[in-house]
A and B are shown apart, each in its own frame.
Chain A
Amino acid sequence: MCVVGALVFAPCVAVAEQIFLTPRDFLSEAFEGEVPKAQTLWVRGKVKADISDILGRKSVGLRIRYWGRGDRTAWILEDIGKYHPITAGFVVQSDKVRRVSVLVYRESIGWEIKYPFFTDQFVGTSLSNGWRLSNPPDNISGATLSTDAMTRMAIVALYLHRHTRKLDG
């Protein structure tokens, strides 16, 4: 099964956005041009509590939109860096992160996280016990909070990937 999800966590704030990659382009790259239709996953009960726990806050949307095919999963997630939400795409396959892209960045500093030297650190990482990554990324000086947000989102992507696979039996 292949799943791509859009998870919306953060409130809207009118700030200058730097769009590095549109969701459409990200999905197209994730699925090599053939983007499957979007589906929805309702986040309730333990799943919602777990996601709140990972993100460290309660304001988690009840519905996650996703697209899927095969065993590859990719998610478009948002989490707050310092003041503003960062939108990032995660492709997950066989319970491991296969690709990470920063789609929209809204903070004034810390945009270095968009570069492959940072995002590639997530490739191959998986979920370990206690909501941690098996290979946490190295921090970028001056972008600690953005790095933390990307790490949290990677954990959520891996968690949701595993959850959708359980649902599919």
Chain B
Amino acid sequence: MARGKQRKKVFSTNRYAYVWHKRIGLVASFLVVVLSLSGVALMHSDQLLLDQHNMKNRWVLDWYGLDPESDPLTYRVGTGWISWLEGSLYFNGNLLAENVAEPRGTTIHNNLIIVANASDLYLFTKNGELVEHIRGLELPGEILAMDTGPNGHLLALTSEGSFQSDFEILNWYPTELTVEPAPPRPTPADIEEAILDNYRGHGLPWSRVLLDVHTGRILGNWGPYLMDAAALCLLILAGSGIYNWIRNRRK
């Protein structure tokens, strides 16, 4: 009788361990899959170029709050639009260049897109290829405004006075002509949409997202605790698995 009770107790304990092993396994499995896949991807982030590719998913980008702090500044250039948003320059919504200071003049000259800021002059083809980046030391002064003059030459109002370039923008000569700073114009909706897509996509590499998924931080402050719980579940699974194995072996 006592032996039967003992057997029943052992059976009950074994069953209890099995049931909880299964339950914890089910609960932890999803998080373990997430941990494993993100961990493997992060281990090979160099080969997978995760630092070089950016997240494009709008839901994820919104989740990260990747909105620019200001609206794009947009200028009419020929039949197109030059826009500038937080250091990036766009032509018709397509990225032209980065790390560019706020424009002080834009124009089309000799079939090239010309963008001037205080200390740089950028020349692009209409396909967006950089033709030349002329730096301040090769300019007549700090540029205050720039446009095409009535004679078809480039005119720049600078801290040293007004200057006119030759046709190829190689040399600058003082001139009596002057140019006024052109105010920005409202950004067309489709161009603004393209710029925002590019801006958001630029700011969030895949490696960042995967790291946040791996650590649980993508879910906020409580996320890491969830991943801690998953790790704890794994420990319990290991313990209960060993317990079940020993019990089964004794039988």
* B160: min CB distance to chain A, Å: 14
A57 at the interface (CB under 8 A from B): no
Are the CB atoms of B120 and A38 closer together than 8 Å? no
The contact of A62 among B99, B100, B101, B130, by CB within 8 Å, is B130
Are the CB atoms of B133 and A12 closer together than 8 Å? yes
A166 at the interface (CB under 8 A from B): no
B2 partner residues in chain A, CB cutoff 8 A: none
Interface size class of B (residues with CB under 8 A): 20 to 34
Count residues of chain A with CB under 8 A from any CB of chain B.
24
Are the CB atoms of B171 and A8 closer together than 8 Å? no
B117 partner residues in chain A, CB cutoff 8 A: 12
- Measured in the bound complex, the distance between the Cα atoms of B35 and A140 in whole Å is 44
- CB nearest neighbor in A for B130: A61
Are the CB atoms of A59 and B100 closer together than 8 Å? no
Asked, given contacts A40-B170, A62-B125, A62-B129, whether A8 binds B134 with beta carbons under 8 Å apart, the answer is: yes
Q: Write the B119-144 contact mask toward A (1 if CB under 8 angstroms, else 0).
A: 11001010001111111011000000
Within A2-42, the residues touching B (CB, 8 Å) are 6, 8, 10-14, 19, 22-24, 37-40
B contact set with A: CB distance below 8 Å? 97-101, 117, 119-120, 123, 125, 129-135, 137-138, 168, 170-171
A contact set with B: CB distance below 8 Å? 6, 8, 10-14, 19, 22-24, 37-40, 59, 61-65, 87, 103-104
Q: Report, nearest first, the 8 A-B pairs whose CB atoms are least far apart.
A: A8-B133, A38-B170, A62-B131, A11-B99, A63-B132, A63-B131, A13-B99, A12-B120
Name 24 A/B residue pairs within 8 A (Cβ), A-sorted.
A6-B134, A6-B138, A8-B134, A8-B135, A10-B133, A12-B101, A12-B135, A14-B99, A14-B101, A23-B137, A24-B137, A37-B170, A40-B168, A40-B170, A61-B130, A61-B133, A62-B130, A62-B132, A63-B131, A64-B132, A65-B132, A65-B170, A87-B135, A87-B137
